[in-house]
Amino acid sequence: MFRYSISSIFLLICSLGFAQEKAMEFPEVETDSTVYKTAYGLRVGADISKPILAIFNGNYTGVELVANYRIGKKIYLATEIGFEEKTSIEDYSNSTSKGSYIRIGFNYNAYDNWLDMNNEIFTGVRYGLALFDQTLNSYTPNVNSLYFPSVPINASITAPDLTAHWTEFLVGIKVETLRNLFVSTSISYKIAFAVDDQENFKTLFAPGLGRVYESGTGFGFNYTISYLIPFTKK
């Protein structure tokens, strides 16, 4: 009888221990298995601010095509190519610069999208190269004399095959307005580190770089419309 009681108590203790262990286990929580993928591909477009500027400024003509390719979740290879022609009218000179340029670099998207959205708040860096000609159209000698008044002198002196090199740091936003159609705006800070000058006359404007200041720095603005050609989704 004693032996039977001991066996019964042992079995009861084991049963209580097993029940307590099962009670302490947390029930499994079902997780949402839906995975939202975003498109990877080539995005191409144009900067529409330049033709708009040309409408209001008869001394300027410009066109710029843009493209970027997504290589990671937040990293995009980016490039811009274009052509600009601008006549700079100063107090004592009139000159025209025209030529082509290319900028190449990358963007980093700092914005975390919801679900399958594909918007961006980005920062980026570019290396820029311009190949251009500059023509000194006319100049006025800086001589103030009652007997020898200053009059403009037509020069038409052209210096071909000039180059400019610079770096840009930019910030901007890109919004998907329609399926795969994006509108973007950005502001860039430019630092020139090599700009060729015409003989005896300083370069005042370089395509892609813009106005050349004594400090070698300046700002730029872009407003682009682009379309994404998706290759895959990840």
What are the b/e assignments for 18-42, b being 16+ CB within 10 Å? eeeeeeeeeeeeeeeeeeeeebbee
Residue 122: predicted pLDDT: 97
* Geometric angle at alpha carbon 149, from 136 and 153, rounded to 5°: 20
Give pLDDT, residue 24.
45
| pLDDT of residue 58 exceeding 80 | yes
Task: Note the pLDDT of residue 145.
Answer: 58
Mean pLDDT score of the chain, rounded to an integer? Answer: 85
- Please, which pLDDT band fits residue 149 given cuts at 50, 70 and 90? low
Average pLDDT, stretch 115-123?
A: 87
Q: What is the pLDDT of residue 5?
A: 41
Q: Which residues pair with 195 in a beta bridge?
A: 164
Is 204's pLDDT higher than 80?
yes
**Closest among 143, 224, 213 to 181, alpha carbons compared:** 224
Quote the pLDDT of residue 171.
98
The terminus-to-terminus CA distance of the chain in angstroms comes to 71
- pLDDT, average across residues 111-138: 92
For 3-35, the pLDDT digits (tens) are 444 444 344 344 434 444 444 444 444 555 556
Closest CA to 52 of 218, 189, 225: 225
Banded model confidence at residue 124, pLDDT cuts 50, 70, 90: very high
pLDDT score recorded for residue 40: 87
pLDDT for residue 155: 82
- 141 confidence band (pLDDT: 50, 70, 90): confident
Asked which of 26-40, 80-94, 179-193 is least confident by mean pLDDT, the reply is 26-40
pLDDT of 23 reads: 40
What are the chain's domains? Answer: 39-233 (2.40.160.20)
Q: For position 37, what pLDDT does the model report?
A: 74
Q: What percent of the chain has pLDDT over 90?
A: 67
